[in-house]
Structure 1
Amino acid sequence: MLEKLFKLKENRTNIKTEIVAGITTFMTMAYVLVVQPGAIVGFGPEQVLTDINGVVISKSALLVMTALISGLVTLLMAFYANLPFALSTGMGTNFMLGALLQNGDLSFGNIMMIVLISGIIFVLLSVLGIRDFIVRAIPANIKTSISVAIGFFIAYLGFKNAGIGNFQEGISMGDFTQPPVFLAIFGLILIAILTVYHVPGALLIGIIVITILGIPLGVTQMPSSLFAVPDLDSIQNISFTFDFKNLLNASTMVLIFITFCGDFFSTLGTVLGVAQKANLLDESGNYPEIQRPFIVDAIGTCVGALTGCTTVTTFVESSAGVEAGGRTGLSSFTSAIMFFLAILAAPLFLMIPDAATGPALIFVGYSMISSIGNIDFTNFIQAFGPFIMIVFTIFTGSIATGISAGILADITVKTVAPTTEGEKVHPAMYALGIPLVLYFTLN
């Protein structure tokens, strides 16, 4: 049956190899179950957040639904696309939307509405095959700098939450004599060493070690039980929660654009990158069946929005499973089963302190920042927009503001400068500039 479903022999693999690969992929991306609830509700001891509409969002409900939706969508990838790719809530826009929720700028229903609309757009573009138009319309320097800007923001949150940096009055060093800060520094070093030696699941191992060390130091607070049946009432609070107020204002349009772009280009880069490691690309460097994982990814975002999850995307950590030999959907099927098992372990994940998640956030930020080398800073015309995007994100503490400012700067410079054919502004970018200008003038 497994041979018929996943074509193991055709892909030169076997059941044992695929199962090991699936577990490896899960271990490398399981940190999302720790990070996602904090990204939405806020890091710290608080377990619930009440939004501006009075909706109570709990970390336990977010964790359970993240695990459930990750498992279901990864199953779809396994059976529909037969690829060793696992999916979950992507890192990036979750922090942007979570910050707006925590500040009272958006309701939880607003966030889910934004995610749903971006997912529907992704579905339509995937089904209609308009992928190449989007790739041509948005210049490479902007696509790269969006990821870099978000990476800096996530790293900033890691420093702030762990106490390594003090951002209360200006910027200064944290108190390294405090146990949480000391543990966070140790966690940063530990994850770095594990990464140097290519240990699978370095982030998860670092989180687990620091959490355990934090118990005798009073940093980790033990729950009454390590396993529990999910609370259906808390899950109901975040399911099918939509708020369509302010749908047509400039700020919402900007957020939908950022959410869509984050999902679209993350999926494009991840699918091609992991497919290359799995030797699935043709001689032209293309993946002929790329529409299938795109459709799965887009459907995952829509389903996730219905159940309280931010953008669901294909994880680059799937490459760890590919390196372990994963070549078929049996690998992602195994990862999905692991996500389902994690549902019962919600208290185990929720006991993890900021001292353990902070270093992990810094490394997640690093993984996104590392693509900054693809921006040619010797070319002012190409580099000015990305520079503005990055510094605005860092110094305003807002991903939406940074990305909006960067795109407008890029459009302006390329419009007034004597440009070559490759530096001309696509007409679609001028159309995009209208809501971006409104974003600043109306806010």
Structure 2
Amino acid sequence: MHRRNAQQYKWHGYRMNQLVNNESSMPAANNPAPTARGGWLERRFALAERKTSVRIETIAGITSFLAAAYLLVVIPSLLSAGGMDRGAATTATILVFVLSTVLMALYANLPFLVGPGIGGSVILGITLAGEHVAWQTGLGIAFVSGVLFLILTLVGARSLVVRLIPAQIKLGLGASIGLFIAVLGFRNAGMVLANAKTNALALGDFSRPGTLVALIGLGAAVVLQGRRVPGAILWAILIAAAAGVPLGVTHMPASFLSWPHSIAPIAFKLDIASALSVAAIPYLFVFFAAEFFSTLGTTLAVGAKADLLDENANLPNINRPFLVDSIAATLGPVFGIPALTALVESAAGVEAGGRTGLSSLAAAAMFALMLLFVPVALAIPKEATAPALILIGLSMFSTIRHTHFDDFSDSLPVLSMVLLTLMSNSFGTGIAGGLLCYVLVKLLAGRFREVPWGLYVLAVPLSYYFYTVVKPH
């Protein structure tokens, strides 16, 4: 009991210090004084209560959009590798981005983008295709996974899992996801490469034009943020994209306007019957577990970055964003796009000052414009957005300093979670591993009473998940 009270005291002290530090370090432009009156947008999104403004939220939304715009290229490319029509997948990707993010903005009032994650697209376009599973069946599996998400959300099981997770693991989520974001940025910049044979990371060629563009953007971001320029991340992305023109990295489109491709080749093509077969169960579990922990981690980590968590490191009304991503995960495969979730790229908008659903609404509007301006969105190279991901990831990784390193049974699971994220290139796998490690370490240390009973139950499916991930193929 004394130990629990001491940990709670430390956590409360950490949150109070974090809030004070954020208040003192936040630029004046990003921390306007609350006003007693305001327009419909201010009242609808509680802008004054969260100490933000329409201008800040708009800039944050555009920043989130630019940080996630590379997915308009990556997702269709991955899905087309599995046999889908790339043009149809591009249009469908934009549509699900818009619909899901608008729902998050209006229902949950949170600065989260909702769209297709890379992990789910890799499972469908690469993993299943490599094992000769049709993409129609893959969409059916993703749909069934979404239905399970929706059921668990409606009965409150997902929020229960959040409450069961120990505070130390929640603190480690920010570091784990921060590392994932930073490494993603380094890889997009070409500064870090993954060896195809050993899956080990290695330094890239810093003399490449793409890497030079990323370095220019990184330098610009550091200068602008150091001078507390509003919208520093957004300006850095635009500066990097402009620098890429003479270097041959940013290619100006031949036409700025284009009609969207029809989604008919992939919409409503999911094969639910095949997805319900016994042979599909392992794939279903991989889809479900990876998405569950990815969404959980993103929601808590980005929510912490926006100072939206309570004193117990929980997001108030967390069932609202959970319900949104559950609906999105269910409807996405109907349009032909699997594995919709809250995206880590939302952290870019939060770093730019986004605190409400208005920034999500602004991002959704930008994605909607891309239905006609796809060439413009595709003109911004991933190297230009890489600096934003690097700085945001490193900033989030700093939360690891609040881990109780004086207690190995608390610190070892957190460090394991961070390392698993790096080795597997999946923060969903990292989070699942951290939770399983927490249970095992506490048991082996003879401190099993510190583990909530629900985590023992959760350890069973987590063990099966790791069996499906590490078993030889």
TM-score between the two structures when normalised by the length of structure 2? 0.71
Match of 1:312 among 313, 326, 341: 341
CA distance in 1: counterparts of 2:334 and 2:400, whole angstroms = 34
CA distance in 1: counterparts of 2:359 and 2:389, whole angstroms = 26
Cα gap change, 1:358/1:112 in structure 2, threshold over 3 Å: closer, same or farther?
Answer: farther
Match of 2:413 among 359, 362, 385: 385
Q: 1:236 — aligned with what?
A: 264
Cα gap change, 1:381/1:418 in structure 2, threshold over 3 Å: closer, same or farther?
Answer: same
Contact map agreement 2:328 2:341 (CA 8 A) in 1: yes
Q: 2:14 — aligned with what?
A: none
Match of 1:410 among 438, 445, 451: 438
Cα deviation digits, residues 408-438 of structure 1 (max 9, x gap):
4333222221116334563222322441353
Match of 1:177 among 199, 202, 207: 207
Q: 2:60 — aligned with what?
A: 25
1:223-302, aligned counterparts within 5 Å?
Answer: 223-232=253-262, 235-242=263-270, 244=275, 246-249=279-282, 252-268=284-300, 270=302, 274=306, 276=308, 291-302=319-330
Q: Equivalent residue of 1:224, what SS?
A: coil
Contact map agreement 1:271 1:293 (CA 8 A) in 2: no
Q: 1:427 — aligned with what?
A: 456
CA distance in 2: counterparts of 1:138 and 1:28, whole angstroms = 31
Cα deviation digits, residues 392-419 of structure 1 (max 9, x gap):
4434556566555544433322222111
Cα deviation digits, residues 72-102 of structure 1 (max 9, x gap):
3343345545x36453327xxx233344456
Match of 1:192 among 204, 222, 226: 222
Cα gap change, 1:189/1:310 in structure 2, threshold over 3 Å: closer, same or farther?
Answer: farther
State the Cα distance separating 1:130 from its structure 2 match: 3.6
Cα gap change, 1:268/1:341 in structure 2, threshold over 3 Å: closer, same or farther?
Answer: same
The answer to whether residue 242 in structure 2 is matched with residue 209 in structure 1 is: no
Q: 1:96 — aligned with what?
A: 119
Contact map agreement 2:142 2:284 (CA 8 A) in 1: no
1:40-119, aligned counterparts within 5 Å?
Answer: 40=75, 50-52=80-82, 54-58=83-87, 61-62=89-90, 64-77=91-104, 79-80=106-107, 83=109, 85-89=111-115, 94-100=117-123, 103-105=126-128, 112-113=139-140, 115-119=142-146
CA distance in 2: counterparts of 1:98 and 1:12, whole angstroms = 35
State the Cα distance separating 1:225 from its structure 2 match: 0.9
Cα gap change, 1:393/1:219 in structure 2, threshold over 3 Å: closer, same or farther?
Answer: same
State the Cα distance separating 1:380 from its structure 2 match: 1.7
State the Cα distance separating 1:30 from its structure 2 match: 1.0
State the Cα distance separating 1:345 from its structure 2 match: 1.7
Contact map agreement 1:388 1:405 (CA 8 A) in 2: yes
Q: 2:27 — aligned with what?
A: none
Higher deviation after alignment, 156-165 or 267-276: 267-276
CA distance in 2: counterparts of 1:48 and 1:131, whole angstroms = 29
CA distance in 2: counterparts of 1:175 and 1:57, whole angstroms = 30
Q: 1:8 — aligned with what?
A: 43
When the two structures are aligned, how many residues end up with a matched partner?
417
Q: Equivalent residue of 1:220, what SS?
A: coil
CA distance in 2: counterparts of 1:437 and 1:363, whole angstroms = 31
Contact map agreement 1:377 1:383 (CA 8 A) in 2: yes
CA distance in 2: counterparts of 1:399 and 1:272, whole angstroms = 16
Contact map agreement 2:102 2:360 (CA 8 A) in 1: yes
The answer to whether residue 179 in structure 2 is matched with residue 152 in structure 1 is: yes
Q: 2:35 — aligned with what?
A: none
CA distance in 2: counterparts of 1:111 and 1:146, whole angstroms = 29
CA distance in 1: counterparts of 2:290 and 2:165, whole angstroms = 12
> Which blocks of at least 5 consecutive residues in structure 1 are unaligned?
42-46
Cα deviation digits, residues 192-234 of structure 1 (max 9, x gap):
33333444544443332222222222222232212212111xx
The answer to whether residue 166 in structure 2 is matched with residue 139 in structure 1 is: yes
> Which blocks of at least 5 consecutive residues in structure 2 are unaligned?
1-37
Q: Equivalent residue of 1:207, what SS?
A: helix
Q: Equivalent residue of 2:342, what SS?
A: strand
Match of 1:345 among 373, 382, 390: 373
CA distance in 2: counterparts of 1:359 and 1:349, whole angstroms = 17
Cα deviation digits, residues 257-316 of structure 1 (max 9, x gap):
121122134335655775849xxx8x9998775544443343233333433154232845
Q: 1:44 — aligned with what?
A: none
CA distance in 1: counterparts of 2:194 and 2:313, whole angstroms = 45
Contact map agreement 1:40 1:95 (CA 8 A) in 2: yes
Cα deviation digits, residues 77-135 of structure 1 (max 9, x gap):
45545x36453327xxx233344456445565566556544543443333333454212
CA distance in 1: counterparts of 2:113 and 2:43, whole angstroms = 21
Contact map agreement 1:148 1:371 (CA 8 A) in 2: yes
